[in-house]
Structure 1
């Protein structure tokens, strides 16, 4: 009888642990999105299907089996945004867009100076720095600028009353690539009602891509930064500069530290 029991090797244990960890991570990720509600609904359908089969309710069993078959294909459509985000994170190179601090210094300095000035004058702004994932699919409606990054140009773009002040400004490498772009809004149900449209757009683009977004509140003048769907609020110029350097300079160790920093600060922000 004991011979019928399969022998479990060390590799089997490792295999089971890896699968368990992957399932756990998927559930943790989905718990932060609206997809978790859909997943719970599908699990309920699966439970009813098992119960119907157990009690030999053939008609119900037939219906639930067909619903599950259709649901497998529907999952690809329903979870398409979440699947895209997961694949984007897997494919992320884990580096910034500048090789050295000197190369990044001018761009970061101009963003920080412009943010400080607009914060003082309570000028609303949304500055997005493109990284590995191109933003062309999200910014088709934007106006091409292709100018050097400078405090003066950024303030001019976001000055109230100008044609481009309502949209987002996209920085590609060391250039202001486009202005007046409209970004996808975050659908995260856990965001407080107090998070406005500009901040939701900042979170939305960083959920979909690996971009970094700097937001200045028109109401309070507070400067925030968003990365990987997280939002850190109330950053003064030195902290903003430090965070931007950590995310834009090609230093893997620094980047890991700042990802952890974002997770901690995001929990504190709300």
Structure 2
């Protein structure tokens, strides 16, 4: 009995009370880990992260098994590899620190401003697409979600501006230098224009589908992005999600669809409308092989 009491006393001495400082410590570490994960996703450094993890595991295993030579080599690789990574990712680290410096404290724990900006981006996109559809001006916009499109952005011109209907009409004007590529939107802001997208690998697509539609479907196949397209020949508005193409959309339907896909929590009270739109996409599975432009 005395032994059990002694053990309990020892355990009590080891357990420290949980205070405000501990909560702050946990929140700071959680934020740092989150930012590191987002940094890896934005820079397409998943393979690099796996390589670093394997090196650390090899270092740990070699230490446990007392493989002195291997442990020495792994230790040196990790020691000098940290410096090499700083040099290798210097532009990304600098951009990350600049973003941290521009971030308000309120934005760290809240995405309300981001949602408001995305809401405005949808409104401006629908306004621009209604005009582009009437004038039969081709357009291709990609709304990024969880999968980062950093590789696609690098193929075009990097931007950082709000989505504006007049700006979109100028970008997609057929004499503009960036009109042939895609506009990429991240968190409600334009981050790239004139960007090249991967073509769809679906061999069953109709030959009538042009490069713009094939690129839009391809982007939706490779990522979880929502892609909005305007046909240059007919002015028809289309949306591609998950490799599925829904065509001949009215501007009102385009807006409802974008809101359902990009702001799902905001549309909980409109479940009947969402159900109808998802039904449209299910019905649109059969339309993947039908298109209308040759551009």
CA deviations 1:105-160 (Å, max 9, x no partner) are 31111010010101111110101100010001233111012111010111111111
The answer for the alignment partner of 1:190 in structure 2 is 204
Alignment of 1:107-186 (within 5 A): 107-186=121-200
The answer for the alignment partner of 1:74 in structure 2 is none
CA deviations 1:42-84 (Å, max 9, x no partner) are xxxxxxxxxxxxxxxxxxxxxxxxxxxxxxxxxxxxxxxxxxx
C-alpha contact (below 8 Å) 1:186/1:207 kept by paired residues: yes
- Give the CA deviation at 1:261: 3.4
Residues 151 and 205 of structure 1: is their aligned pair in 2 closer, same or farther, counting only changes over 3 Å?
same
Larger radius of gyration: 2
C-alpha contact (below 8 Å) 1:202/1:215 kept by paired residues: yes
Distance in 2 between residues matched to 1:268 and 1:200, nearest whole Å: 13
Structure 1: stretches of 5+ with no match in the other structure? 1-96
Q: Cα RMSD between the aligned structures?
A: 2.4
- Give the CA deviation at 1:190: 1.3
C-alpha contact (below 8 Å) 1:98/1:248 kept by paired residues: no
Query: Does 2:283 match 1:264?
Result: yes
Distance in 2 between residues matched to 1:125 and 1:241, nearest whole Å: 16
Q: TM-score, normalised to structure 1's length?
A: 0.59
| Greater RCO, 1 or 2 (C-alpha within 8 Å, sep 6+) | 1
Q: TM-score, normalised to structure 2's length?
A: 0.55
Structure 2: stretches of 5+ with no match in the other structure? 1-110, 291-295
C-alpha contact (below 8 Å) 1:142/1:178 kept by paired residues: yes
- Give the CA deviation at 1:104: 3.8
- Give the CA deviation at 1:170: 0.3
